[in-house]
Structure 1
């Protein structure tokens, strides 16, 4: 990806799309198992107020799989470098960034090893069994949408990305993050418990606030998008 960064091809490589022509930029990033379309309920509204940038991380099949190098992307640094490079080529000097977290906690190492083994060897059966868990509510449309998205991933790449997600510990860098942050958290989320949101608020180096959505599940942009929009409007001062 470094060659694409220097050559300017990263915008096309990451399947980047820009909506709206307002002055302030809002970058929407997806998490594991999803792609940029996870924001489809929000984009048309947000594009009335922002220049909205969406893209796909290198591990998703919308991106040429030849660009995914397991060694390079064995930690989050390479993903961060891709994002910075992308924004540089889009001439984004300042803006807002909204990301779906990929955090999952509360597992022992043997449990994780069993999970990695299941993903690597039985991916097609694991996907439909796992998909309802992050959705968190009985929403057939959302479950199907996420299941279809997750199922498109390469099993080989999926297990490697999951290892990065589950085995990374970035607590030490939280105090170094000094930009203002807002953490939007569902009332009940099996993937990310509320304790994580308040831990981050306490440890972040800059001003931070936590907003609890009165809903369940990890993907409110699919299951409670009107509620999420209401909170976003207040956070980014849309009247």
Structure 2
């Protein structure tokens, strides 16, 4: 990381950009298979009120792959994370053996049935990942388990979740709410899919305005 970042620092290495000139700073971090363009619909709305920082995560296809240095989505007893171990193993197998086919199948499911445009955008960014990075990052996402750390989270949290999400069920949001150490609230968006910031950005923005108390 040091050699890759030494000239421009980590901000340059991660393509960090700042929009808006508000007095408070808001940092937006995208998820697996995306890049900072995931925020393109919300960014103009938020930049009216905040200084907004966006960047590309190290697994993003926009970054130098040398930056990527290679474990809870799995059901565990009474905890429902959304996937059985066998299903996750099948995902790993498909990424490794037929990455393009897996991307074409996974992207529309993650986006939701009625979100064709969102699915197409996600398919494009997901498909640009190097397969070995996609596999390694998927293993990190599906195998990481920080549930034991939740009681240490004392800051107030708002968990925003789509009503129907095939990747993360509502039970996960309420599990987090019930196990963090501080106050937490769950807000369910009346929409489908894993990417409300793309498929229902106006609805998400209305909820964010209430959550972070944006005043017109």
Counterpart mapping for 1:104-123 below 5 A: 105-123=81-99
Tell me how far 1:8 sits from its aligned partner: 6.0
- Separation (CA, whole Å) in 1 of partners of 2:115 and 2:152: 38
The total of aligned residue pairs comes to: 209
Instruction: Pick which of 148-157 and 102-111 moved more.
Output: 102-111
| Alignment match, 2:142 | 166
Counterpart mapping for 1:42-191 below 5 A: 42-70=42-70, 103=73, 105-191=81-167
Unaligned runs of 5+ in 2: 75-80
- Separation (CA, whole Å) in 2 of partners of 1:145 and 1:103: 23
- Separation (CA, whole Å) in 1 of partners of 2:190 and 2:115: 16
1:65–1:40 Cα change, 3 Å: same
Deviations 1:163-184 (A, max 9, x none): 0111111100111111111000
What's the C-alpha RMSD, in Å, of the aligned pairs? 1.8
Deviations 1:191-218 (A, max 9, x none): 1111111110011111111111111111
1:143–1:177 Cα change, 3 Å: same
- Separation (CA, whole Å) in 2 of partners of 1:59 and 1:114: 21
- Separation (CA, whole Å) in 2 of partners of 1:187 and 1:224: 12
Tell me how far 1:2 sits from its aligned partner: 4.7
Unaligned runs of 5+ in 1: 76-101
- Separation (CA, whole Å) in 2 of partners of 1:209 and 1:4: 40
